């Protein structure tokens, strides 16, 4: 229909609407206006008129069908699904609508299934599930249909990265970044996570020139608030530029000391670098010398779990140190100092005799559970306070940190289960 005829139809419908009194007749006029605006590709206005028609006559299958088609063109997927289901329920629509609705439901069910497979580390199964959904998605996505693509591609990118399929990961990341709706809806964190995947893909294929361009683009993002600095550190760490990553992560935490993801990532990068050292002081003979902070001794896992459960702190390393002078054993529990973010604070856990200058005890041997350990960089003795029912920010920070350490969560569950089973025999 030509623009002139569309304008005439619009004027006629508006006049008819102004004099109509019968509600069913008003619904028909609203449908006519909906058709006019659909022809003009003014989808949101068309949706508004078809919605008015369905509100007046909820059993009008043609009104629901017009609404479904308008919603589909506007990319409002979830609303489209409701309208499509209602159309078919009333006996309206066509085979095309029925097929599209089946595909829509299949994609929803498929992404739910893939989410479970990814959680169970069934990566190849998840890859097969997600790739099977691609043909069911709109070939020319608009609006919220881009978000349906996004759901599938984010999951698929996660799987491709795990499987080391870098060329396919690059394709997923670039397609995601091409969607306008992704930039409109996803926050900085979401966009940057996609760029992290893209950076990993480019590095995995040795596309260094393109990678350098991407890194320069990311590092130029402003403003340098805590989240932006964290995302920059995350990207640099993901492409094995750990020292640069540490710099940005520290800057992030100086702006927001309760940024749990930044602190967790800082700990990870420092452990990956592995060259951190701290001064050890033997409480038995008072010998002083430096020792490596990492790695955690395997036998230190129970100590780490104990500190998580009873002291509200997540250690970064537990070292069992045999003094090079006296040979006595000391357990050193360390974590990144939250005051300077450069050194390590912590505690000593040791058995010492009554003659020790550290403590006066009774009996042949005194068990001294803890000695506060000053940061080797700023000398701050970070007090470990029980945060439960005290500072809400500290409590949320601790809980967020622990949620990011699923390895520790699993260890805690294991020890809780052992304790439960042992208590049954007491």
Residue-wise pLDDT for 128-157, tens only, equals 999 999 999 988 887 777 888 999 999 999
Q: Which of 282, 272, 261 is nearest to 351 (CA)?
A: 282
Return the pLDDT at 368.
46
Give the C-alpha separation, 419 to 96, whole Å: 60
Structural domains of the chain, with CATH: 3-93 (1.25.40.10), 277-422 (no CATH)
Q: Considering the entire predicted model, what is its pTM? A: 0.77
Tens digit of each residue's pLDDT (9 = 90 or more) over 313-344: 888 899 888 889 988 888 888 889 888 899 88
Return the pLDDT at 349.
75
Which H or E element spans position 380? none
Contact 218, 195 (CB under 8 A): yes
Return the pLDDT at 424.
74
Give the C-alpha separation, 116 to 421, whole Å: 29
Return the pLDDT at 2.
59
Return the pLDDT at 137.
92
DSSP one-letter string for 121-170: T-HHHHHHHHHTTGGGS-SS--THHHHHHHHHHHHHHHHHHHHT-HHHHH
Residue 425 phi/psi, 5° resolution? -100, 0
351: β partners = 367
Return the pLDDT at 347.
82
Return the pLDDT at 422.
79
Return the pLDDT at 392.
83
Which portions of the chain are predicted below pLDDT 70?
1-9, 75-77, 351-371, 381-390, 425-426
């Amino acid at each position: 229909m030509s623009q002139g005829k569309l304008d005439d139809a619009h004027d006629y419908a508006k006049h008819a609407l102004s004099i109509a009194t019968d509600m069913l007749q008003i619904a028909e006029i609203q449908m006519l206006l909906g058709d006019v605006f659909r022809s003009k590709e003014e989808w949101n206005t068309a949706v508004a008129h078809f919605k008015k028609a369905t509100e007046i006559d909820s059993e009008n299958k043609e009104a629901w069908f017009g609404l479904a088609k308008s919603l589909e063109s506007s990319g409002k997927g979830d609303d489209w699904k409701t309208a499509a289901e209602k159309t078919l329920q009333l006996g309206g629509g066509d085979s095309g609508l029925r097929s599209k609705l089946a595909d829509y439901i299949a994609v929803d069910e498929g992404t739910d299934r893939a989410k479970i497979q990814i959680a169970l580390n069934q990566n190849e199964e998840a890859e097969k599930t997600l790739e099977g959904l691609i043909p069911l998605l709109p070939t020319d996505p608009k609006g919220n249909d881009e978000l349906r693509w996004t759901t599938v591609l984010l999951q698929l990118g996660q799987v491709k990265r795990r499987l080391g399929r870098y060329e396919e990961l690059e394709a997923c990341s670039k397609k995601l970044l091409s969607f306008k709706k992704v930039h409109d809806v996803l926050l900085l964190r979401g966009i940057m996570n996609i760029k992290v995947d893209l950076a990993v893909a480019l590095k995995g294929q040795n596309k260094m020139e393109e990678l350098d361009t991407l890194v320069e683009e990311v590092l130029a993002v402003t403003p340098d608030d805590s989240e932006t600095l964290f995302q920059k550190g995350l990207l640099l760490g993901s492409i094995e530029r750990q020292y640069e990553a540490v710099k940005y992560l520290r800057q992030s935490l100086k702006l927001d000391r309760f940024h749990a993801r930044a602190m967790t990532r800082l700990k990870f990068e420092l452990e990956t670098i592995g060259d951190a050292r701290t001064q050890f002081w033997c409480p038995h003979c008072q010998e002083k010398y430096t020792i490596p902070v990492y790695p955690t001794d395997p036998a230190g896992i129970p100590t780490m779990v104990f500190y998580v459960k009873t002291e509200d702190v997540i250690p970064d390393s537990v070292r069992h140190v045999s003094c090079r002078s006296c040979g006595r054993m000391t357990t050193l529990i360390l974590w990144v100092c939250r005051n300077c973010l450069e050194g390590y604070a912590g505690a000593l856990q040791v058995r010492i005799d009554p003659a020790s200058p550290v403590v006066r005890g009774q009996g042949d041997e005194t068990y001294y559970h803890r000695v506060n350990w000053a940061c080797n960089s700023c000398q701050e003795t970070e007090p470990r306070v029980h945060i439960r029912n005290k500072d809400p920010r500290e409590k949320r920070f601790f809980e967020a940190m622990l949620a990011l350490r699923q390895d520790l969560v699993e260890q805690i569950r294991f020890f809780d289960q052992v304790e439960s089973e042992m208590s049954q025999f007491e």
